[in-house]
Structure 1
Amino acid sequence: MIGLWKVGRTIGKGSSGRVRIARHSTTGQYAAVKIVSKNVLLNSMNNLGDSAEHMLLSIEREIVIMKLINHPNIMRLYDVWETSSELYLILEYVEGGELFDYLCNKGRLSTSEALGYFQQIISAIHYCHSFNIAHRDLKPENLLMDQNKNIKVADFGMAAWQASSNNGMLRTACGSPHYAAPEVVMGQEYNGSASDIWSCGVILFALLVGRLPFDDEDLYTLLEKVKRSTFDMPSNIDPLAQDLISKMLRKDVSQRITIPEILRHPFYISQEPKAVAHSMPNLDDIAKPLSGTDAIDPDIFANLRTLWNGTPDDEIIENLKSDEPNWHKGIYHLL
């Protein structure tokens, strides 16, 4: 038992831990429990140094980000439990499996079905971007489906907060090379929102065509294809879809379509999206200044340090006490 959750069989394994199914002893609700061994992390930190420390930071960041977000197309984090030896993330159980497996079994999808999934993905990512959060690892393996074929975006271990410093640009190259934007592959500083849009363009292509626009067994050749950003567009898919994909897979970031533009694109609006109830954060409504240093909750402050890793504590504290709207205060009050 973990709290009121009775833990059952293992249903998956990842780089940072194993996943087991669990059932709530009172309500009967199912959940997926991601179990991370602290001993493995500590041993890794002793042996691997920076890479293991990065893994620990990514787990902490995943927890903080998932506490923040609440959207019907994003996997929910219900609770976090901790013992002396393990960390338990109680996550929404999504029984339909990965979109990747569904696509492999079915092949290319109809225009209507592909667009329906794409609209749900864009809705979720638009919501994340409204918090300045970039997912950075969007691919069909991280898109789960419930029994009603609703998409649930999962795995925020690579997600990043796009700070106002450095013009919101990110530096760490991450994600699968098949879905990574050329600026990420080339090791340039990049805008996380724009790189997410590229990944969504690759996903839309895969849903409609049944294969990837950039693919090769040799990693070097694959990366060169992504850098060139040239691919064959099948003529037998909807012309409006072709237009949208070509605008999402623009090598020049300044010419790449934005999410507000995607939401107005003729292909996107050619079918009514599934109605989802959620609200976007409004910084002016949530960014209330704290009265002083003594009013700062230490646990929430630790969460802020995880999101703004590398930012001096004094700077975060000053922003929390500031009368001007800023995301430090906004995220503090949301947490």
Structure 2
Amino acid sequence: MAVATPAQLNLDESPSWGSRDVDCFEKLEQIGEGTYGQVYMAKEKRTGEIVALKKIRMDNEREGFPITAIREIKILKKLHHQNVIQLKEIVTSPGPEKDEQGRCIDGNKYKGSIYMVFEYMDHDLTGLSDRPGMRFTVPQIKCYMRQLLTGLHYCHVNQVLHRDIKGSNLLIDNEGNLKLADFGLARSFASDHNGNLTNRVITLWYRPPELLLGATKYGPAVDMWSVGCIFAELLHGKPILPGKNEVSWIY
């Protein structure tokens, strides 16, 4: 996995980012886990605000932290919209053990954990959909789809591809507000971009045919295919293209 050093984050643009310790927060419970690391529901000790702490997994990184995390942070720093999850700040935990000369004993000066602090959302769309007997009403579907399309349009206007639209990445609060989340696979793009992009993105059930067939030049249309899958899933009550692998999905 590609890695980078903290200097590449350009946190000088926001001096407070990275200056606070994770001990400013009280972890209440773990609410998620994946290849990226753990996600915790936490409370800011000074204000009592409830937030989500996303820990960036560093176990196998000896020279820095994953370039995917760098991209996610940089992208979220420039996106400010009511239907896009807000990255509030970056906090750190104490670094590695040092000797008397201040040198890192294990040779990795970036071993301290890094956490992304997000606004807290109560649910995700998949979790709500999986509740026994749950069927969304037409007004609810219209409300969620409007918010999803509004947030995604904002991303595309700002030249960001999400590349992982799925129910678990659509967060919803108890008032019905929906926000796009998890920009770990997102990429900035330009309308005149001629370079190749990886086609190993987007969860299989929501991946468009052109990516399955190996396309490396694409744009916002790949996100829109995923949105269409979400729309049909809300109406149908279950995923409409649940292939077990790429071959079964195509055929």
Determine the C-alpha separation between the residues in 2 that align with 1:165 and 1:127.
Answer: 19
Cα shift at 1:159: 0.3
Determine the C-alpha separation between the residues in 1 that align with 2:242 and 2:36.
Answer: 27
Q: Is the 8 A contact 1:162 1:169 kept in 2?
A: no
State the partner residue of 1:25: 45
Determine the C-alpha separation between the residues in 1 that align with 2:124 and 2:156.
Answer: 23
Cα shift at 1:101: 1.6
State the partner residue of 1:62: 72
More strand by share: 2
Corresponding position: 1:42 with 2:64 = no
SS at match of 2:204: coil
Corresponding position: 1:103 with 2:113 = no
RMSD (CA atoms) = 2.1
Instruction: Spell out the pairing of 1:288-299 with structure 2 (5 A cutoff).
Output: none
Q: Is the 8 A contact 1:99 1:144 kept in 2?
A: yes
**Structure 1 pair 100/162, CA: closer, same or farther in 2 (3 Å)?**
same
Cα shift at 1:167: 3.5
| TM score, norm. by length of structure 1 | 0.59
**Structure 1 pair 59/21, CA: closer, same or farther in 2 (3 Å)?**
same
SS at match of 1:222: helix
Instruction: Spell out the pairing of 1:1-335 with structure 2 (5 A cutoff).
Output: 2=22, 4-38=24-58, 40-42=59-61, 56-83=66-93, 84=95, 85-95=112-122, 97-105=123-131, 106-163=133-190, 166-167=193-194, 170-216=197-243, 218-225=244-251
SS at match of 2:130: helix
Q: Is the 8 A contact 2:162 2:223 kept in 1?
A: yes
Aligned partner letter, 2:82: P
More helix by share: 1
**Structure 1 pair 90/189, CA: closer, same or farther in 2 (3 Å)?**
same
Determine the C-alpha separation between the residues in 2 that align with 1:102 and 1:26.
Answer: 32
Aligned partner letter, 2:70: E
Determine the C-alpha separation between the residues in 1 that align with 2:154 and 2:83.
Answer: 10
Determine the C-alpha separation between the residues in 1 that align with 2:195 and 2:227.
Answer: 20
Determine the C-alpha separation between the residues in 1 that align with 2:130 and 2:57.
Answer: 32
Structure 2: runs of 5+ lacking an equivalent? 1-20, 96-111
Cα shift at 1:175: 1.4
Which protein has greater RCO, CA pairs closer than 8 Å, 6+ apart? Answer: 2
Cα shift at 1:86: 0.5
Q: Is the 8 A contact 2:125 2:171 kept in 1?
A: yes
Determine the C-alpha separation between the residues in 2 that align with 1:169 and 1:37.
Answer: 27
SS at match of 1:178: helix
Aligned partner letter, 1:42: E
Q: Is the 8 A contact 2:22 2:92 kept in 1?
A: no
Determine the C-alpha separation between the residues in 2 that align with 1:28 and 1:166.
Answer: 45
Q: Is the 8 A contact 1:162 1:168 kept in 2?
A: no
Aligned partner letter, 1:147: N
Q: Is the 8 A contact 2:88 2:117 kept in 1?
A: yes
Detail structure 1 runs of 4+ shifted over 4 Å in the superposition.
none
Cα shift at 1:164: 5.0
